[in-house]
Chain A
Amino acid sequence: MARCLAGDRIAERALYDAHVDRVYRLMFRMAGEADLAADFTQETFIRGFERLSQYRGDSSLGTWLHAIAVSVALNGLRKVKRMHGRTEPIEESHHLAVQPVGLTGDLKARLHAAVDALSEKLRPVFVMHDVEGYTHEEIAGTLGIPVGTSKARLFDARAKLRLALAVFAGDHIA
């Protein structure tokens, strides 16, 4: 840390190596595109190095970096959404999801579309917990929310996905 603060590029590279894989994986899960994931990861580390002097050690350095990463990703995705207007609201993906099609690939595609359509509050929690395997404590630290809120958001996210997939998945379960 001290060497990074002193501008030591080797120390910075070591810090980067220690965290880049996990940050990039989360960025990719959030963005769904390699270019965007790379952009968000780069911006995370650039901001991280710039603000390293503000790191107080209240959480682990990894959690602190992840907090920057999630903020960068959400802001970036908002810009992308504004530019392309491509993300459909949950109601629309629900219409898609309830049309029974009957193929495993379709189920996945519809499930992924339903995850894409989760709100900004629910999606990071769902992706971090159910997809990437973060603990609620890690999620809470990253998003700056209480552990209970993280659990409640995961519960809501799963409920919405269940609802979105109810009819379609019902055929599979049966």
Chain B
Amino acid sequence: MKEDRMDELLIKGTRDYHEPGPVPREDMWARIEAERGGRDRDVALAPIRRRWGWAVGGLAAAAVLTVGIVIGRRLERASVPSTTVAAIPQPSRSSSPESAAAAARTQSESENLAYRLVMLRHLAGTEAMITAFRSAARRGEVDAQIGDWSRELLGTTRMLEVSPVTQDPTMRRLLEDLDLVLVQIAQYVTSGKHNPDDLDLIEQSINKRGVIIKLRSSLPARALPAGT
């Protein structure tokens, strides 16, 4: 009985819950038409924007890599005199074997830092590309731009594979894994066949090698923006 009264109270009490006013039909219709007109234009422009977006992304990746290499080389050059001084016997304290070793260490650390920054940026971009590819593949909408993106990243991967970052065995293995996955994606897109078996092989490579997990664990709490 009490429960019935409670239900009655609930129904009475909620009858005017967020009571709607008059429906702004014309306002909403006008906005729907305006929005749809805008979206039609966006749909037409989307492929162009995507293509340029990725081209800019690729250029940014190349620029970052170049900056990293330049920093590394400058650091190397800057450290040459001290190394030379260290090689010639001098009475000063700076020529001691300890200071030469310290200078060499600093040079090496700075160089590694520069490459490491480039590497992190590259990993963030690669993760974004693999995620985009998987999502597009699920929808059956893999297009040529993804192929371009994967080839750009493959180029950067191969440059990094001959850089000092590979002194770290974990990074070296990760780059090797990325090389394989990126080749597979690029070939999948280029072939244009979109064979489910090929897609399955790519998924196997990603999953068996734990590529996404490795990528995410290598990125320090999303410190770097993705997309390149």
| Chain A residues near B (Cβ < 8 Å) | 9, 13, 16-17, 20-21, 24-25, 28-32, 34, 37-38, 41-42, 45-46, 49-50, 107-108, 111-112, 115, 126-127, 130-131, 158, 161-162, 165, 169, 172-173
In the complex, are the beta carbons of B20 and A29 less than 8 A apart?
Answer: yes
Chain A min CB distance to B206 (Å): 29
Q: Which residues of A contact B14 (CB under 8 A)?
A: 111-112, 115, 126, 130-131
In the complex, the chain A residue whose C-beta lies closest to that of B10 is A161
In the complex, are the beta carbons of A131 and B35 less than 8 A apart?
Answer: no
In the complex, are the beta carbons of A24 and B20 less than 8 A apart?
Answer: yes
Summarize A's interface: helix, strand, loop or mixed: helix
For the complex, is B11 an interface residue (Cβ under 8 Å from A)? yes
In the complex, the chain A residue whose C-beta lies closest to that of B43 is A50
In the complex, the chain B residue whose C-beta lies closest to that of A126 is B14
B16-27 Cβ-contact flags toward A at 8 Å (1 or 0): 111111011101
Q: Given that A46-B39, A131-B15 are known contacts, is A173 also in contact with B2, CB under 8 Å in the complex? A: yes
Q: Can you pick out 18 interface pairs between chain A and chain B where the beta carbons lie within 8 Å of each other?
A: A13-B29, A16-B29, A17-B25, A20-B23, A29-B18, A29-B20, A38-B31, A41-B28, A42-B28, A46-B36, A49-B32, A107-B9, A111-B10, A115-B17, A131-B15, A162-B10, A169-B9, A173-B2
Interface size counted on chain B using CB atoms at 8 A: 29
Among B15, B19, B20, chain A packs the most CB atoms within 10 A around the CB of B20
Chain A min CB distance to B7 (Å): 7
In the complex, the chain B residue whose C-beta lies closest to that of A172 is B9
Summarize B's interface: helix, strand, loop or mixed: helix
Which 5 pairs of residues, A with B, have the shortest CB-CB distance?
A: A28-B20, A111-B13, A32-B18, A24-B23, A29-B18
For the complex, is B193 an interface residue (Cβ under 8 Å from A)? no
Among B16, B27, B28, chain A packs the most CB atoms within 10 A around the CB of B28
In the complex, are the beta carbons of A173 and B32 less than 8 A apart?
Answer: no
In the complex, are the beta carbons of B20 and A169 less than 8 A apart?
Answer: no
In the complex, are the beta carbons of B20 and A42 less than 8 A apart?
Answer: no
In the complex, the chain B residue whose C-beta lies closest to that of A110 is B13
Among A49, A131, A162, A172, contact of B36 (Cβ-Cβ < 8 Å): A49
Interface residues of B in 12-65 (CB under 8 A from A): 13-21, 23-25, 27-29, 31-33, 35-36, 39
CA distance A25 to B20 in the complex (A): 6
Chain A min CB distance to B68 (Å): 36
CA distance A46 to B37 in the complex (A): 10
In the complex, are the beta carbons of B32 and A34 less than 8 A apart?
Answer: no
For the complex, is B88 an interface residue (Cβ under 8 Å from A)? no
For the complex, is B5 an interface residue (Cβ under 8 Å from A)? yes
In the complex, are the beta carbons of B17 and A127 less than 8 A apart?
Answer: yes
For the complex, is B6 an interface residue (Cβ under 8 Å from A)? yes
For the complex, is B197 an interface residue (Cβ under 8 Å from A)? no
In the complex, are the beta carbons of A21 and B23 less than 8 A apart?
Answer: yes
Q: Which residues of B contact A41 (CB under 8 A)?
A: 28
